[in-house]
Amino acid sequence: MKSYHFYIALILTTVWGASCSEEKPVQQHSQASVPVTLATPVLSKTTGITASGQVSASETAILSTRVMGFIQAVHVKPGEAVKKGQLLISVNSNDILAKKAQAEAMVSEAEAALADAKKDLVRYQELYKQQSASQKELENMTLRHHSIEAKAEAAKQMQREAEAMLAYTRITAPFEGVITQKMASEGTMANPGMPLLILEKKGTFEIATSVAESDVNSLTVGMPAVIFLKSNGQRLNGKVSEISPSSSYSGGRYGVKVALQMTEAKNLYGGMAATVAFAVPVTAAETTLIPVSALVYKDQLVGVYTVSESNTALLRWVRTGKTHDEKIEILSGLSGQEKFILKADSKLYNGVPVHPKTN
């Protein structure tokens, strides 16, 4: 029994010694510090609403035709001013003219047959009064008259249809304006609904823009607005003329149109980029703004990296507000005096050492 315990003790001692002899010392690896660019939030006292937009004509018409045919002539060119009712495009109408002639012949034939049927009906009515014709004969003659009368009306409707289709072979200006685009040339095939010309009303422009859900309630129709044209630096005045009541098909943004005061405009063209500043009330409260590019998104949370007292990256969750061009309001989570990490040379995470970059 003693020898048994002795062997057990010897085996445990051997295993323990082997494990101790194979144990390797733990090496400590130091984490490299990440160079970062620090920034301080911008404090602003203005809470006005600004939005980017585009100059467009207050009335635009995309002209097309309902018939298929070769374009015989295009009577205008881009930049040309036209009057209401002026002929712009002529489409070949030989087939429609043929159908119109057929309809007119059918109308003439039906009218002649109707006149003859009316005479027969009057004669049978007199014979019936004199008891020289039976009631059945009178009913048959009345039915014949109604049938021919219906055929005559159908022929007239076919004639009207041909005349209506013929009108679509002569495309005229629906209002006075300027031709801005020409998408068809002589000899090409015009298909129903295919855009041929774009006509814009002359002398009246507006700005088409959109605002976020948080801003739409601050706008009203008739509210003054200031427009800055990016191309030539013009500063124009305008008024809100239209506010869309829905954002279902515009990515959550509400369309807004601002009518311009054309007496001040110079060298204004459709498609020019513009910035619109709406004249909403300004509050005295300071707003903390940081670049949108500094934000970090994780699931439904929004944060920004700051620097801890031990010079490590610290992710701070924040609550955001309105967006102002490339900056966004920080409602809570970051004060106006705290520095945050604007850019980093490598990926950041909580606890990684950081140091400010030196120029």
One digit per residue, the tens of pLDDT, for the chain of length 359 reads: 444 444 444 444 443 444 443 444 434 345 789 999 999 988 776 556 888 899 988 888 999 988 888 999 999 999 899 999 999 999 988 888 888 899 899 999 989 999 999 998 899 888 888 888 888 988 998 999 999 999 999 999 999 988 888 888 899 999 998 998 999 889 888 888 899 999 988 778 899 999 888 788 889 999 999 888 888 778 888 999 999 998 888 878 899 999 987 666 677 888 888 889 888 765 555 678 899 999 999 888 999 999 999 999 999 999 887 777 788 888 888 888 889 999 999 989 999 999 998 75
Q: Report how far residue 216's alpha carbon sits from residue 243's, in angstroms, rounded to the nearest whole number.
A: 8
Q: Report how far residue 200's alpha carbon sits from residue 64's, in angstroms, rounded to the nearest whole number.
A: 14
pLDDT of 270 reads 83
Question: Using an 8 Å Cβ cutoff, are 353 and 35 in contact?
Answer: no
- pTM of structure: 0.53
Name residues whose C-beta falls within 8 Å of residue 314's C-beta, 6 or more positions apart in sequence. Answer: 305, 306, 307, 308, 350
pLDDT of 216 reads 87
Name residues whose C-beta falls within 8 Å of residue 118's C-beta, 6 or more positions apart in sequence. Answer: 145
Q: Report how far residue 355's alpha carbon sits from residue 307's, in angstroms, rounded to the nearest whole number.
A: 9
Token representation of residue 342: 């604007």
DSSP letter at 51 equals E
Is residue 354 helix, strand or coil?
A: strand
Q: Report how far residue 355's alpha carbon sits from residue 200's, in angstroms, rounded to the nearest whole number.
A: 58
Q: Which residues pair with 289 in a beta bridge?
A: 42, 329
Residue appearing with tokens 């129709």: 221
End-to-end CA distance of the chain: 80
How many of the other CB atoms lie within 10 Å of CB of 52? 13
Nearest of 318, 319, 288 to residue 305 by alpha carbon:
318
pLDDT of 29 reads 44
Name residues whose C-beta falls within 8 Å of residue 189's C-beta, 6 or more positions apart in sequence. Answer: 68, 69, 70, 71
Q: Report how far residue 293's alpha carbon sits from residue 323's, in angstroms, rounded to the nearest whole number.
A: 12
Q: Report how far residue 336's alpha carbon sits from residue 316's, in angstroms, rounded to the nearest whole number.
A: 14
Q: Report how far residue 290's alpha carbon sits from residue 326's, in angstroms, rounded to the nearest whole number.
A: 9
Phi, psi of 3 (to 5 degrees): -65, -35
Strands 189-190 and 197-201: unpaired
The secondary element (H helix, E strand) that includes residue 100 is helix 94-129
DSSP letter at 64 equals -
Sheet of 177-182, strands arranged across: 60-63, 197-201, 177-182, 81-82
Q: What is the largest CA-CA distance in the chain?
A: 154
pLDDT of 168 reads 87
Nearest of 342, 201, 177, 268 to residue 356 by alpha carbon:
342
- Domains annotated for the chain, with CATH where assigned, are 34-47+285-356 (2.40.420.20), 50-58+204-278 (2.40.30.170), 66-90+171-198 (2.40.50.100), 94-167 (1.10.287.470)
